[in-house]
Structure 1
């Protein structure tokens, strides 16, 4: 199997067997994915990962409901897919995090250069939503509740190990999230000794929401970190 085939097989079998609180639900875009959406997902990974070259590992927190929670491709929305000529006709979504990450991809040298060297995954490759006081479903990060984080820790440990193996045994990690995400993964890394080095970058959503006027500065910082 090529790396692309192994990635796709992993996605097809992703499942969380945890009895989460009633107000929290799992975002699993790969479950009952339509044929056309899966075809686009398959086209993406076969285009960039149909080889055996090892990749470096970049991880986000967990998919959001407007990005990978719909497309199945981390930090990728409809405009990003359209920019590389991939149509996902049943999905029409935009996400600020995807916007920034694809600016990073371009600044790095374009999709072929970036995905030829990097794989983007997630501490949890499946996302979460919770019902707020108004009855609306909103994004939920795995660390937003200590109890939920504890419940999810066995799944997270398993998935980090799987992703490390999928990319060819990466011994370094670039992580999106300099706060709670870094603390959680730093602590787990001390126990499991996955990575000799973890470099944390601000989460793309933080940059787009709170540092938008400084996007060129952050692009330079992100590309420099990825090139280290």
Structure 2
């Protein structure tokens, strides 16, 4: 019997970067890296080797220091080791979102409990970057300019549509980010993917701008996640 893990692994291993992006917008595809492919296989085999439907928790698109490196949503190499028990030789990276997400994971009961009920993903599955005039790149969101949004919209639609086949509880989805909500709701109106959408402030926003209220946000996240499970 094909499991959630089998479907997810096959999907991520098949991802290719789009070729229609505006000038200066780049894509990071960690799934092409030989060091990442076994990490993806271990992660999904450990936490998703069943056919239990998960509630989807959807971010924007990966950051270049989180899933852009590990291939696992909102997960840095060090958090992959510390919280998921998956050893790796990848260089530790700074990622605010991952710090908060794994506080949520721990407060929920740990990685096995969390991933046994939820699937953490993004509307677009690959990290986006934008070239800086002085050199180097910065993180970029698919909605940061209309041309990029339009270019990626078919891929975003396909991403969510395909991932639903892994094993989704479509009665509710959790959206991470208030601006992200605009696009997820637009997508949902077009496609009817979920019965309803619940929105939380994005982890990066919380740690960057609201860190003093972190305990309140953590409580809000846990309460919302439990409410979603009860109502799903």
TM-score range relative to shorter protein: over 0.9
Give the gaps of 5 or more residues in structure 2. 228-232
Distance (Å, rounded) in 1 between the aligned partners of 2:86 and 2:18:
32
State whether residues 42 and 86 of structure 2, in contact with CA within 8 Å, keep that contact through their aligned partners in structure 1.
Answer: yes
Does residue 1:13 correspond to 2:14, yes or no? yes
Give the corresponding residue for 2:43: 44
Give the corresponding residue for 2:230: none
What is the Cα deviation at residue 169 of structure 1? 4.9
Alignment of 1:135-154 (within 5 A): 135-154=135-154
2:199 match: secondary structure: strand
Question: Is the alpha carbon distance of 1:169 and 1:15 closer, same or farther for their aligned partners in structure 2, counting shifts above 3 Å?
Answer: farther
Give the gaps of 5 or more residues in structure 1. none
**TM-score, with structure 1 as normaliser:** 0.94
Distance (Å, rounded) in 2 between the aligned partners of 1:91 and 1:42:
19
Give the corresponding residue for 1:163: 163
Give the corresponding residue for 1:79: 78
Question: Is the alpha carbon distance of 1:40 and 1:134 closer, same or farther for their aligned partners in structure 2, counting shifts above 3 Å?
Answer: same
Does residue 1:93 correspond to 2:76, yes or no? no
Does residue 1:65 correspond to 2:64, yes or no? yes
Distance (Å, rounded) in 2 between the aligned partners of 1:170 and 1:162:
13
Alignment root-mean-square deviation, CA: 1.3
Distance (Å, rounded) in 2 between the aligned partners of 1:168 and 1:198:
14
4+ aligned runs moved over 6 Å, structure 1:
none
State whether residues 176 and 203 of structure 2, in contact with CA within 8 Å, keep that contact through their aligned partners in structure 1.
Answer: yes
Question: Is the alpha carbon distance of 1:169 and 1:162 closer, same or farther for their aligned partners in structure 2, counting shifts above 3 Å?
Answer: farther
Using the TM superposition, name which of 85-94 and 71-80 deviates more.
85-94
Give the corresponding residue for 1:27: 28
Equivalent residue pairs, number: 225
Deviations 1:138-167 (A, max 9, x none): 111000001110111111111111122212
Give the corresponding residue for 2:121: 121
